A and B are shown apart, each in its own frame.
Chain A
Amino acid sequence: MKRRLLAATTAVTLSLTMAACGAASDSSGGDAEEGPIKIALIPPTSGALAQFGTDSVKGWETAVRLVNEDGGIDGREVELLVKGTDADPATTLRVAKEAVTQDGAQFIGSVMTSPEHGALNAQLEGLGALSFNSLGKDDALVGEQCSPYAVHVVQTTSMDVNALANSIAEMPGEKWAIQAVDYATGHSAAETFKAAAEKAGKEVVLEQFAPLNTTDFGSYITKLKNSGADAVFAVEFGADGVAFVQQADQFNLDDQLKTVLGLNMVSEPLFETLGESIVGYYNNVGYDAAADTEANKEFIEAYTEDHGSAPYYVPADAYAAAQILFAGIEEAGSSEPAEVAEALADLTVETNVGEVTVRGTDNQVLRDSYLGKVVKGDGGLAFEVVTNTSADVTTTESDPACKF
């Protein structure tokens, strides 16, 4: 009797377990070919990067509105699942897993930092989801951390720095100091910049890294002043960037500098906050808002209508990511992430950031990079695009460490 009971219990447990596994398997990635196409957005909702996360979501929202108004993709509606994270890789990974396995998301966007993308890339194949990175710039994401399920829409740090490097020789200042954020992007930017500066015959007299969310830059600025630097390359983002610029102004650091060159430090949403102290600052510009193309005009008009303000690089890149995804789904004739990933390889797409191609060997989107200078115009501060460098200069080939 006991044996029969044990056997029955075992059979029931096994069948329940298998049913549960089956259910989990079915729910993973959702039903790829029916119902809405689901995209999970996982931006940071607090801390120094929260605003960029919110703006990235806005770019996706505009793209999805337009595509749904046109009848969706192959007749299927696109649905956004907006989640949130504290930008900690573990949190982001947990949220991504929930979105894919429980909510049926097939695609992921608006993940912010490079460490988050690094953690996510390692899991994408197992999750069966395709991620579109429009924010994390670390080179390793298309190198040793690359994934066939991750499309790198944004320019990498080395692409940005290579674009800036073309102009270093002409920029005033012989002794450069590097002030960067102490995480992957800051270090890789500093490394690439240092090599480019030395190649251009400039001297790097100081290299220092501040932890993310640094509030007091006094010690760093004092070291910068004491270093004798006459030019600074700064990689500080969001609230950190504002604090650095504000405090540098209080220390009169600009008096000894001929050039301040920022990497993602100065951007349009911060112009009002930073004020006129940044006039003359140089910064990489990921997106040329003045580009005279139909796709860009349509984007600017729709975005302004939706959100009441003009877009800048963060929503623009999110919108470009959405356009590339939609083109991939159309090309594949399916929303199955693996098939979309395959269809995207070497696909050329007309987007708001110009005509771009997804490089098949590492999924890097090949696009132009710009150097801008902050100028004071009639409507307030604006970027004047100084140079435009194409992808065949900024990224000549994919990293051999990336193997699909």
Chain B
Amino acid sequence: MNAAQLLNGIALGSLLMVLSSGLAMIYGLRGVANFAHGALYMSGAYIAYSVSDRAGFWLALLVVPLALAVVGVLLELVFFRPLQHRSHIELGLITFGLALMAERLVVLIWGERTLRVTPPEFLQGTSNFLGVEYPSYRLAIIAIAVVLAAALVLWLRSTTTGLHIRAASQDIETAAIMGINVDRVSLVVVAVGSALAGFAGALAAPYIALDPGMGSAFLITVLIIVVVGGIGSIGGAMIAGMGLGVIQSVTTVWSPSVAVVVPYLALTIVLLWRPTGLAGKRVS
């Protein structure tokens, strides 16, 4: 296996890392398997298509997370908070329904046609990285994802909001008794989680082709990553996302048919070996 194949795995892993960290945040705090996470990612990619078409790709990277954060606020205020005492299955089904509606909405706005986003001119083509000619845009994804992951971990570990998020993710009731405003923390978490999904979509837009089913294609993999990483653990999800991306890409070189089952295999092995996931109960 050569270095380019390893970079392919790291690039895919970087994308999965950003996407799964948002889902892990929401799952950790709200306990909701947010089946709309794939739809948020897909919506992010489509909004990025429209924004980058009119105002450039870099602005899209800024606008998309903000737009999706607003969607996250609505999700929290309209669904998650009022229904927080209902069973997780009911909330999961609601998010599943929202995902289906989002898919149809995207078809109504952008149509069923497959779309493509062109990366900024200086990121087109290849660059020489450690002696390997590799697509510049993929290298940029890796760099952005690493910076984002570091910033996220730093935010969770060094700020008061981060402390509150970690506390509420461990035990939301005790956190509330200790004086933490868990409603505000939840709002922040769902908004940031949704923004991360949108950001992943915007990052992915020049990487993959845009079609309304693109969210569903990643959703199962991302749900598996969250479970493998340790439910609710953002750090665990990041490690699992990167690991799975690399393993899947490497397996594709050897046997594409086997690569398809890698996430399921990883899920089975981790659940048998370490039922709480790679990170156990740690949040960051």
Stretch at the interface among A1-9, A219-227, A395-403: A219-227
A218-B249, A270-B114, A273-B115 known; A250+B137 contact, CB < 8 A: yes
Flag A262-295 by CB within 8 Å of B: 1 or 0 each. Answer: 0000000110011100000000000000000000
Q: Is the CB of B209 within 8 A of A239?
A: yes
- Chain A nearest CB from B241 CB (Å) reads 14
Q: Is the CB of A243 within 8 A of B5?
A: no
* CB neighbours of B260 from chain A (8 A): 211
* CB neighbours of A46 from chain B (8 A): 103, 212-213
Bound together, the chains give a CA A48 to CA B214 distance in angstroms of 9
Q: Is the CB of A216 within 8 A of B12?
A: yes
How many residues on the A side are at the interface (Cβ–Cβ under 8 A)?
36
Q: Is the CB of A47 within 8 A of B249?
A: no
* CB neighbours of B103 from chain A (8 A): 46
Q: Is the CB of B8 within 8 A of A218?
A: yes
A46-B213, A218-B8, A219-B8 known; A252+B125 contact, CB < 8 A: yes
Contact of B211 among A216, A238, A246 (CB under 8 A): A238
In the complex formed, the residue of A with least CB distance to B8 is A218
Q: Is the interface of A mostly helix, strand, loop or mixed?
A: helix
Q: Is the CB of B256 within 8 A of A210?
A: yes
Q: Is the CB of A275 within 8 A of B116?
A: yes
How many residues on the B side are at the interface (Cβ–Cβ under 8 A)?
40
Q: Is the CB of B209 within 8 A of A215?
A: yes
Q: Which of A47, A216, A242 has the most CB of B within 10 A?
A: A216
Q: Is the CB of A219 within 8 A of B209?
A: no
Bound together, the chains give a CA A215 to CA B126 distance in angstroms of 19
Cβ of A51 under 8 Å from chain B: yes
* CB neighbours of B257 from chain A (8 A): 182, 209, 211
Cβ of A329 under 8 Å from chain B: no
> A-B pairs with CB below 8 Å: how many?
103
Bound together, the chains give a CA A48 to CA B114 distance in angstroms of 8
- Chain B nearest CB from A264 CB (Å) reads 14
* CB neighbours of A252 from chain B (8 A): 125-126, 133
Q: Is the CB of A48 within 8 A of B8?
A: no
Cβ of B19 under 8 Å from chain A: no
Q: Is the CB of B212 within 8 A of A251?
A: no
Q: Is the CB of B212 within 8 A of A223?
A: no
Q: Is the interface of B mostly helix, strand, loop or mixed?
A: mixed
Bound together, the chains give a CA A277 to CA B140 distance in angstroms of 22
Bound together, the chains give a CA A48 to CA B11 distance in angstroms of 23
Chain B residues 73 to 132 lying within 8 A of chain A, measured CB to CB, are 103, 111-116, 118-119, 124-126
Q: Is the CB of B8 within 8 A of A54?
A: no
Bound together, the chains give a CA A218 to CA B259 distance in angstroms of 14
Bound together, the chains give a CA A252 to CA B128 distance in angstroms of 13
Bound together, the chains give a CA A247 to CA B11 distance in angstroms of 13
Contact of A215 among B116, B125, B212, B214 (CB under 8 A): B214
Q: Which of A220, A250, A270 has the most CB of B within 10 A?
A: A250
Cβ of B138 under 8 Å from chain A: yes
Cβ of A389 under 8 Å from chain B: no
A46-B213, A48-B211, A223-B253 known; A246+B116 contact, CB < 8 A: yes
A216-B208, A219-B252 known; A51+B8 contact, CB < 8 A: no
Cβ of B265 under 8 Å from chain A: no
Q: Which of A46, A182, A208, A275 has the most CB of B within 10 A?
A: A46
Q: Is the CB of B211 within 8 A of A50?
A: yes
Q: Is the CB of B112 within 8 A of A213?
A: no
- Chain A nearest CB from B256 CB (Å) reads 6
Chain B residues 220 to 264 lying within 8 A of chain A, measured CB to CB, are 249, 252-253, 256-257, 260
Contact of A222 among B8, B116, B136, B210 (CB under 8 A): B8
- Chain A nearest CB from B115 CB (Å) reads 6
Q: Is the CB of B211 within 8 A of A239?
A: yes
A226-B2, A250-B135, A250-B137 known; A216+B249 contact, CB < 8 A: yes
Q: Is the CB of B217 within 8 A of A215?
A: yes
A238-B114, A274-B116 known; A47+B256 contact, CB < 8 A: no
Bound together, the chains give a CA A116 to CA B134 distance in angstroms of 39
* CB neighbours of A240 from chain B (8 A): 209
* CB neighbours of A242 from chain B (8 A): 114, 116, 209
Cβ of B4 under 8 Å from chain A: yes
Bound together, the chains give a CA A219 to CA B245 distance in angstroms of 11
* CB neighbours of B111 from chain A (8 A): 51
In the complex formed, the residue of A with least CB distance to B118 is A275
Contact of A251 among B112, B113, B135, B218 (CB under 8 A): B135
- Chain B nearest CB from A304 CB (Å) reads 18
- Chain A nearest CB from B114 CB (Å) reads 5
In the complex formed, the residue of B with least CB distance to A46 is B213
11 A-B residue pairs with CB within 8 Å = A51-B111, A51-B113, A211-B260, A216-B11, A238-B211, A239-B114, A240-B209, A242-B114, A246-B116, A250-B135, A250-B138
Which residues in B have some Cβ–Cβ distance to A below 8 Å? 2, 4-5, 8, 11-12, 103, 111-116, 118-119, 124-126, 133, 135-138, 206-214, 217-218, 249, 252-253, 256-257, 260
Taking A211-B257, A270-B114 as given, write out 11 further A-B residue pairs in contact, using a Cβ cutoff of 8 Å, ordered by the A residue number: A50-B211, A50-B213, A51-B114, A182-B256, A215-B208, A216-B207, A239-B209, A246-B208, A250-B126, A273-B116, A274-B116
Which residues in A have some Cβ–Cβ distance to B below 8 Å? 46-48, 50-51, 54, 182, 208-211, 213, 215-216, 218-220, 222-223, 225-226, 238-240, 242-243, 246-247, 250-252, 269-270, 273-275
User: Which 6 pairs from chain A and chain B are nearest by CB?
Assistant: A218-B8, A242-B209, A250-B135, A219-B252, A243-B209, A239-B211
